[in-house]
Amino acid sequence: MIRKATNPLLMIAIFLSIVLAAPLLGVGSSAGSIAHGLEGDAEIDRFVALAKRFGVRTEDWFVAYFHRPRDVVFDSTDRGRPNGFDKPDEAFSDAFSKFLSEADSNGDGRYDLRDEGFDPEYDAEDLERFDRNKDGILTPNDVAPRPKPALRDRIRRIIEALGHDKQRYVGWPEPRQTPEKRIERRILDLQASEQVQSIDRGKTARAIQAVVEERASLLAPGIARGRKIFEQRCTGCHGPEGRGDGPAAAFVGNTLDGKGALALPRNLARGVFKYQSRDVGRHPTDEDLFATIRRGLPGSAMPASTDLTDPDVWDLVDYIKHLAERAHRARFADEAVPLFLQSYGLSVVEPVPDPPSATPTLVQEGRYAYMLMQCFACHGVSGRGDGIRAIQADTDGRLIQARNYQATRLLKGGSSPSEIYRTIAHGIGGTPMPAHTDDVLLLTNDMSVDFTEAIRIGGGAVDEDSGDDEEEEEEQEEEYEEPKYEFRLVPGISQTEVDRIKAYVSTLPSQQAASTISAADHLRASRMRRWALVHYVRSLMPLAEHDRHSSDTKKDMVEKKATNNTKGTSQ
């Protein structure tokens, strides 16, 4: 429906009407009165009853969110649209700086949590913005009304009436039970047989085709429902086709001081995801996508969807997968197995072992690893996201900045030890954040400890065959010159620290000794080093006291899944 609209104004009109009509699409006939605002208590009650039943966000929520996102999502990076949905032009900037200077209530030149009356040490008042799960772990609470007269009161009443505070999503979902799971086994068997007898491809291909078709028909109803919800809630940012080009997308990319780069709405058609329990190259599990949609991605514009019912979120998951698979099929018409199916069973969720507790020694080891493995190249020597390579392009060619640990207690991929462990192990798909696989984490005593950064010193032609002594004439390409580098010491590291790290390195095994270590010991050492990194990162974050000693939600999920998988194979 939106695809036909090319006129930007029309787009905006349609988009606004979708946003405004969001609850209506879900609740059917009660449209008129709601679209005109909630007048009296009776109206609110009626709406709340409907909203509860159909699990939709309120109209006010959307109005508030797209107007000034921080009204309702306190850590949203979305700058809002005081002027409605127009291009972020000068008028917008002016209006926005005005908004900011007003919002900067403590006059420290920037708008942040302090302006909302929060104590930087995250006092009790702040904790109200979080929920606790049964283990006492604080979890994001996306609805944090900030003081703004009429609208706030209205939203608060609605939220209270909906009981959202009490039903906030906390951990990971139960492993999904869908009809699709039933055919997973059959696909796996077929793939195995294809591997064995690649000669008789025709027959296996036909069998796979049959299963694929069966899967498609099983998923179709969910996809159709998912599309509806997507159009109500997600197209504003992700665009009608999920390509990350919705009308709100233009507003969310840069930090306010222009010195940083925040994530733009994802192009979901690419099929590259950031937070997943499988290695890069595989695809996220349904549960991964569920968690992302439920929790949102704190520190980006992507809001949580705490008010949707579980089946609604699963439908969205199916639709997200469908968007990626559809785009993939358009390019690879001859590929028999749909994108996500390719990852079934081929990879198990990496069993995240029990997190060791964060002893000072382990944290210190984490610091050594952080320096030796050059996390500082992006995250900076002190973890502020200001390394020399901090801002680089992501898969979609948009800039993204390495995380500043010191400024956040909520990481996008989760802040519990095992969630950070997962992030470090798999990296973040489509961004510069690399994977840190099991086999390389073993540092050795002969490695260089000079903390070198590669500094670009100009674009002089680097001869590709520098070993050749043949004289090369001056070669000046018009457009592109090979960059040239010098390896220099990273500023900001003290000599004391260098000495300490050197001492640490000398206690490590030599390369030769390392290559004779048994695979199991190797793995154990790598994992421990990763835990050290996890605890070092967490030591930089402004975590509350009970965050630090939290047990783990992710661990439960992993264990559940492991049993689930064994069940699957023995069927």
Using the rule CB under 8 A, give the single segment among 132-140, 144-152, 403-411, 464-472 that binds another protein.
Answer: 464-472
Contacts (CB under 6 A) with ligand HEC, residues 214-243: 230, 233-234, 236-238
Query: What are the angstrom distances between the C-alpha of 193 and each of 97, 128, 345?
Result: 63, 55, 15
Chain positions 262 to 291 lying near another protein, rule: CB under 8 A, are 272, 279-282
Return the number of the residue (326 or 389) whose C-beta is nearest ligand HEC: 389
Q: Compare residues 466 and 496 and give the one whose CB is closer to another protein.
A: 466
Among 90, 257, 464, 545, binds another protein (CB under 8 A): 464
Side-chain-facing half-sphere of 360: CA atoms under 13 Å: 0
Q: Which residue has the tokens 């002969």?
A: 446
- Identify residue 77 by its one-letter amino acid code: T
CA of residue 418 relative to chain centroid, distance:
15
Binding partner selected for residue 183 from ligand HEC, another protein, none, CB under the kind-specific 5 to 8 Å limit:
none
Binder of ligand HEC out of 183, 433, 442, 541 (CB under 6 A): 433
**Residue 92 binding partner per list another protein, ligand HEC, none, with a CB distance cut-off of 5 to 8 Å that depends on partner kind:** none
Q: Examine residue 278 and tell whether it contacts ligand HEC (CB under 6 A).
A: no
Binding mask 279-298 for ligand HEC (x = CB under 6 A): ----------x--xx---x-
**Angle, helices 8-27/201-233, rounded to nearest 10 degrees:** 90
Touching ligand HEC, residues 391-410 (CB under 6 A): 400, 402-403
Residue with Cβ nearer another protein (29 or 448): 448
Q: Rounded to whole angstroms, how far apart are CA atoms 530 and 194?
A: 37
Cα–chain-centroid distance for residue 536?
Answer: 21
Q: Which helix (H) or strand (E) holds 554?
A: helix 553-570
Buried-exposed string 177-191: b where 16+ CB fall within 10 A, e elsewhere:
eeebeebbeebbebb
Interaction between residue 413 and ligand HEC (CB under 6 A): yes
399 DSSP assignment: E
Q: What mask, x for binding another protein by CB under 8 A, covers residues 379 to 398?
A: ----------x--xx-x---
Instruction: Out of 448, 495, 507, 518, point to the residue binding another protein (CB under 8 A).
Output: 448
Distance CA(236)–CA(248), nearest Å, equals 6
**Least CB distance from residue 180 to ligand HEC, whole Å?**
18
Beta strand segments in 317-447, E = 391-393, 399-401
What residues contact residue 528 under an 8 Å CB cut-off, 6+ apart? Answer: 356
* Full DSSP string of 478-499: SS-----EEEEEPTT--HHHHH
Are 167 and 550 in contact, with CB atoms under 8 Å apart?
no
Q: Does 159 bind ligand HEC (CB under 6 A)?
A: no
In this structure, are residues 368 and 379 in contact, taking their beta carbons and an 8 Å threshold?
no
Give which of 556, 554, 562, 525 is closest to 422, Cα–Cα: 554
Question: Binding residue for ligand HEC (CB under 6 A) from 190, 269, 362, 373?
Answer: 373
Q: Please, which of residues 523-542 interact with ligand HEC by CB under 6 A?
A: 533, 537
Which residues between 317 and 356 bind another protein (CB under 8 A)?
328, 331-332, 337, 342-343, 346-347
Q: Which two tokens stand for residue 156?
A: 């608060």
The torsion region of residue 408 among left (phi > 0), alpha (psi -120 to 50) and beta comes to beta
**φ/ψ of residue 560, rounded to 5:** -60, -45
- Of 158 and 323, nearer to ligand HEC (C-beta) is 323
Which residue carries 């599309």 as its tokens? Answer: 227
Residue 283: name the closest of 345, 238, 195 by CA: 345
Please provide the DSSP assignment of 98-117 as one string.
HHHHHH-TT-SSS-SGGGGT
The least distance separating another protein from the CB of residue 478, rounded to whole angstroms, comes to 6
Q: How far is CA 386 from the centre of its chain?
A: 20
478 binds another protein, rule: CB under 8 A: yes
Minimum Å gap between C-beta 374 and another protein is 5
105 binds, among ligand HEC, another protein, none (CB under 5 to 8 A by kind): none
Matching residue, tokens 């055919």: 183
Of the candidate residues 358, 428, 532, 558, the single one contacting ligand HEC (CB under 6 A) = 428
| 266 touches ligand HEC (CB under 6 A) | yes
Nearer to another protein, 31 or 440 (CB): 440
Report the C-alpha gap between 320 and 223 in whole angstroms. 8
User: Would you say 195 or 361 has its CB closer to another protein?
Assistant: 195
> What is the amino acid identity at position 509?
P
Which is nearer to ligand HEC, 38 or 428 (by Cβ)? Answer: 428
Residue whose token pair is 């899967």:
215
Token pair, residue 226, equals 């998912």
Comparing CB distances to another protein, the nearer of 393 and 562 is 393
Q: Closest approach of Cβ 484 to ligand HEC, in Å?
A: 20
Check residue 200 for interaction with another protein (CB under 8 A).
Answer: no
Single residue of 38, 56, 211, 301 touching ligand HEC by CB under 6 A: 301
Residue closer to another protein (CB basis): 475 or 559: 475
Are 369 and 532 within 8 A, CB to CB? yes
Q: 477, 494, 520, 569: which one contacts another protein (CB under 8 A)?
A: 477
- The DSSP symbol for 383 reads S
From 43-51, 228-236, 247-255, 478-486, give the range in contact with another protein by CB under 8 A.
478-486
Bridge partners, 453 (sequence order): 488
Smallest separation, CB 294 to another protein (Å):
26
Tokens standing for residue 133: 């799960």
Residues near another protein (CB under 8 A) are 191, 194-195, 198, 272, 279-282, 328, 331-332, 337, 342-343, 346-347, 373-374, 377-378, 389, 392-393, 395, 426-427, 429-430, 432-437, 439-440, 443, 446-448, 450, 452-454, 461-467, 472, 475, 477-479, 482-483, 485, 487, 511-512, 514-515
Q: Which residues bind ligand HEC (CB under 6 A)?
A: 78, 230, 233-234, 236-238, 248, 252, 263-266, 268, 273-275, 289, 292-293, 297, 300-303, 305, 316, 320, 373-375, 377-379, 389, 400, 402-403, 411-413, 420, 423-424, 428, 431-434, 436, 533, 537
